[in-house]
Every structure is written in structure tokens, then in C-alpha cells.
A and B are shown apart, each in its own frame.
Chain A
């Protein structure tokens, strides 16, 4: 009986082989088109948002708002994450990000985060650049997820700073009980400025600084007895 069923199923498969192949092909192409459409939409919304953000205008387009809402729906977020389709490709656009330098100071000596690999250094500076953007554009909070914007994120960034300071402090066996860490934005004359005679020289603008101390009374929020 089972053998008879198997034979029947095999014969059915043979007859329908081309139809099954065609059906499979159609399903694959449908998914591919939808997947590419997803990537296209993610990028359209991303470009529109970054354009508005760059010109400090609110996102007013109803279509863009609806699209963003759709793409931020949980199932789409999962889909985008696991397929890698969530990435926007506007690298170095609209403008190139400003960046900066981490500078620590302990017992009158300058200290910095030193890495053995170039790739880690690059990642560390990328993190710094994202934080810089947060300080320049507090509404954007590029370094973190969108669900935690606002004051709490500024406090979070402060916490990250203190964490970096604490690690620097212990790694460099600082001889003092306190150290200072600052993030300094790098300023370099523009192409137009250089052409009109500005010297090719970097300058640093302190964006934020934190103090890390082993003494709790050194903390500004702490009250002395």
C-alpha cells in the first residue's frame, strides 16, 4: 500500500516537475523584488531624514513619516537586522562627519587610549565621532538607538565618558587620585580658506570634559560633610 502511494507520488512529481520549478522560481523572484524594495525604502527614508536633519528642518512629509513608522515596526526591524537590509548607504554624505581626539591628563601627564591594532583604533575613533555628533546635534543621537533620546541619552554619554576615563586611569597606573578626560573636536581650515591663505594647521576645540576621581568628594554632585 505504502509502496503504491510512493510510486504514485513519484509519478505526480515527475509530471509536475516543471510546474514546481516554475513555482519555486516565481517565489524566489517575488521575495527578491520585495527584499530589494525593502532596501530601497530604508535608504529613501534614511536620505530624506538626513537631508532634513542637515538643514535643521522637521520631517514633514506624511509619506516619509508613514514609511519610517512602517520600517520601525518590530517584524520589519527583525527582518532588516537578520538580513542586513537595515543599513543605510549614505556614507560620508550629506557632509563628512566632524571628528575629534580623546585626551586624558593625569598628574600633569597626557594619556591616550592606545591600541595594538589599527582596526580597533578606527573603531574607537568611530565611536568618538558618533558621540561628537550627539554633542553637536543633541536631537539626533546618532550613536544610540532611537527609543532613548533626550536628556537620559546625554547622561548616558556622560557615563560612557566616565567609563573611558576610569579605564584609562587604571590602564596607565595613574599616580594621582584623579584624572581629566576631554573630547576635543578637530578643526582644519576649509579648502576655500586654505586657498585664500589660511595655514594648514589643525586646532582643537574642547567639546566635553569629565573628571574621574577616586575621592568621592571630588565629584561635583557630592556634598562635603
Chain B
């Protein structure tokens, strides 16, 4: 019985990732025990919640075999628009700005989805284009000027800085989104079809699935999540300008890859994203604690991603060999 459970645990797809995370945490505890307080862990989670939300959206897109480079720009655009509207209409309840930013983000995502799903543009190229376009729109709308903390209403910043059971609201939002995404991807028709078109576009056509519509859906969802992240980002930092969150799309992609999402589509699970988000958060936190190491942060994170992917390739090759052997009963 105990042996059975042990085998189940080791066969768990993200077992390696989980072990890696635990080792990192233990290492962190040994080296810098004093700084591992509950408070700092909670604020670490707060600062990484944005990445978590972006990574969920990115995962939808990666699963179809695509990519979305416009995520950071969508975030900036919705952040600029919602914070600007908030500062000029401080009397309106902040929940409206949450909805507005989700809507604008969804519209951005729909544009990507339409270009890719209907006009058959290559995802990398079309989202590279919208990456510049959305950022440019953010500049036009903001006029290049900044919004500073004194302009932010408490109702607005509550969505990030308020807390429940000691954990910040922004982290709760990420947790809820993780749960919703897991449900969406595992038991809904559109969710499963995202996997289907990523696994085999040919078979999807034979099965009567409209590939274009599924792509539009996943890019729109990714956009909506980026839009929400835009509002939350400005609420979290109580600051807003058109150049914020540059390169966040790469962070989201990195989390997905580390979490086992296949860049060619069809493979990946939410639990992997959860673990890799936490792991990435710990890595950057851990590095920031060690004096002199923080200049190495990007290099170390990059190295970890490469190692993770190399391990992934090796295990895939081994699995391929095994199936070939099983099926090679041909001769």
C-alpha cells in the first residue's frame, strides 16, 4: 500500500519539478534562515501573482501550438486605460475598472486570435506586430505621462493590497484563476479542444473541430487575463505608465516551459504551472537575499530554464525509445 502510493508519487509527471522546488526551499532555509519569515513569503507571492495570471493565459495559447508576444503590451495598455479612467472618475466603484480592463484585454486577444485563426498568420509574427501596436496605443492614450500613487483610490488598490486570511487579494485572484483554468482545461468542451488542436491539427479536422474558432477563443482568453493583470499591476504598484511590464511575456513563457507546457502544443497541465510559478518566485527571492548574487538573477533563471528543458528532451527521448520498443514487435 505504502509502496503503491510512493510509486504513484514518483510517476507524477511534475515529480522532478516538485523535487527541484523542495530542494531549493530547503537550500534557502539553510543559507538564509532568518529571512524566511511568513511575511516575506507572502509578499513574495504577492509580487509574483501577476506572472501567474499571465502564465495561465500564455498556457492556453501555447497548448494550441501558438505563442503570444503581446501579453506585456496588452497589460500596459489595459493598465494605462483603467488607471486613467479611475483617476478621472474616482467616484465610480473600482470593480467597473476590473471589468473594463478584462474587456479591453479580451479585445486585444481577439485581434490576435482573428489574425491567427482566421487569416492564418504565423503566431510569432502577428503577436510581434500587436506587441508594438498595443504598446504604441498605450503611449498615445497616456500621452507618455505617468500616474503616481496619490492619484490611486483605495478601492482600486484594494484589489491587490487588501487581504483575506493574511494573504493578499491579488494572490487570491491568482489562486482562483488557477482553479478555474484547471476546470476549464480538464472538463469543458472548448478546453479539451484546445488540447486536441495542439496535439493533431489533422485529426481535429477529421473530427469536425473548427480549428480557427478554438484558436480565437484561446487568444481571447489570454488577452482577457493579460487585461486583468494590467489592472492588478497598476493597483499593486499604484503607478502606471505606458512602458511598464516590458518583457513580461517572456517571463510567462518561461514559467510555462519550466512547468512542462510543450512549445509545439498539446501538452501541459495547470499543476505544472502552479509549481513552476512558485519555483520561479523562490529562485528570484532566494537570489535577492544573497548579497552580490542579484546581478546574476537573469543568468541563473535562464540557466535553470535551459536545464529544465534539456531534462525534458532527454525524458521524451527515453519515452520515445520505449514506445518504439513496445511497438517494434514488428520484426
A complexed with B: no
Which A residues form the contact surface with B (CB < 8 A)? Answer: none
- B residues contacting A by CB (< 8 A) are none
